[in-house]
Structure 1
């Protein structure tokens, strides 16, 4: 909305001159009447000036309204741009995390594939890859049973005997087992320390990579080995033992060494139901 002043001013000047000329021609012999005509003209000009002032005020109000509307639209646009930038930043962080995650997950798979057991006498590879964990776990079971049968450790608790058995197996295969669990721990820690929303989605992918024998050995690594202080809380937080065949534990009483959350929500629910039934029966 724009107003052009020059035509109005020009028209007022022309009207004022024309009025003066008309008054001069009609009343050149009556100066008083001629003066009265100019008084009327002055009143008209004053009215026009007042009207112009009112119009100017209205015009300024209209322009201020347009400025407020434009400012509101600008703020809305800036808010949308900020939200878009935040979304892009979040996506960039997620992409960066996933690149790191899948790279380490690939390294973890390569480590598993590179494990092999060689017969000392012939140097022939007898077992390789994930199958090695079945051998490791069999060794753990046999060592535990041997210590229990020996009778030399009657003063030790069941957990202390399991710790001795695991330490023996771990020492024998430290190069393979140690590297494996360090990589697995750092992979889970990478997810735990990330800013992604659904961390369980990624830890579920990790859990899906673990065989039954790996989860059994993971159980004793966290309960009796180096994983106990740091890895065990992560195992419980992300239910990494959910798919572990619990019936394959060396002793079923060992399951109490972990919080129920380590075995998933279904196990937690059944545990709570069992406690309720026991209380009601009592």
Structure 2
């Protein structure tokens, strides 16, 4: 086919059919072939580049969709765990020990009654704070182990089956937020703050006491990381807990 095309070119432009001219024309077509080959190669590279960009965009869209689905699932699970936490809180029960006289506080009219829910945390925190302060009245300091022993004596050993489900759920929520690989740090802080907003000061104080006990595992670390006692008022034992928790657990974030 190539020689027919060359003959057509010669006849069209009325070029004499000579071997010298044929050689020159062949060289010309060789250069054109090289040029067309180079252009074809560039075209292939251009096509591959756009295909790679298209694939990258498609992958990004897939990743974004997967991330959105993950966040939706995480949020559903988070709010479901919060609901279960509230239910577990309602099931917590507590009654003052026989030796607790109320200290400087006026005792409730139903002092001897067993109470549930928020009232249970409230009374447990009142009694625990009383015994810790009583210990401090005879010593300059109190160790974390001593605080844990008081907590164990007046709360854990008496109502462990009541408080345990609550603490396990709270631990699970904090751990899920901490260990999620797709949540950004700001998102983890958001969910941590949201959880903290659901807790009363009595709950926060008791959680901090519980975190000092060896059987609480890494609960103390999570309390510190999510700064649960950040807004704990002084009357709930803020100064006492500062002896056993780092200052960062009570500080705001930059």
Deviation at 1:76, TM superposition (A): 2.0
- 2:246 counterpart of 1:262: no
Residue number in structure 1 paired with 2:46: 69
- When structure 1 is superposed on structure 2, of 213-222 and 83-92 the one drifting more is 83-92
- When structure 1 is superposed on structure 2, of 234-243 and 173-182 the one drifting more is 173-182
1 or 2 for the larger relative contact order (CA 8 Å, sep ≥6)? 2
Tell me, in whole angstroms, the C-alpha distance in 1 between the residues paired with 2:31 and 2:130.
103
Work out which of the residue numbers 142, 166, 186 in structure 2 matches 1:158.
142
Q: SS at 1:217's partner residue?
A: helix
Q: TM-score, normalised by structure 1?
A: 0.67
8 Å CA contact 1:216–1:245 kept in 2: the answer is no
Deviation at 1:53, TM superposition (A): 2.9
Structure 1 or 2, whichever has the larger Rg, is 1
Residue number in structure 2 paired with 1:22: none
Tell me, in whole angstroms, the C-alpha distance in 2 between the residues paired with 1:156 and 1:242.
25
Work out which of the residue numbers 162, 166, 169 in structure 2 matches 1:183.
169
Deviation at 1:6, TM superposition (A): 9.1
Output the aligned Cα RMSD: 3.6
Tell me, in whole angstroms, the C-alpha distance in 1 between the residues paired with 2:58 and 2:245.
48
Q: TM-score, normalised by structure 2?
A: 0.74
The number of residue pairs the alignment matches comes to: 231
8 Å CA contact 2:208–2:241 kept in 1: the answer is no
8 Å CA contact 1:112–1:129 kept in 2: the answer is yes
Structure 1, gaps ≥5 residues long: 20-36, 120-124, 270-282
Q: Superposed, which structure 2 residues align to 1:93-172 within 5 Å?
A: 93-116=70-93, 127-144=115-132, 158-159=142-143, 161-170=146-155, 171-172=157-158
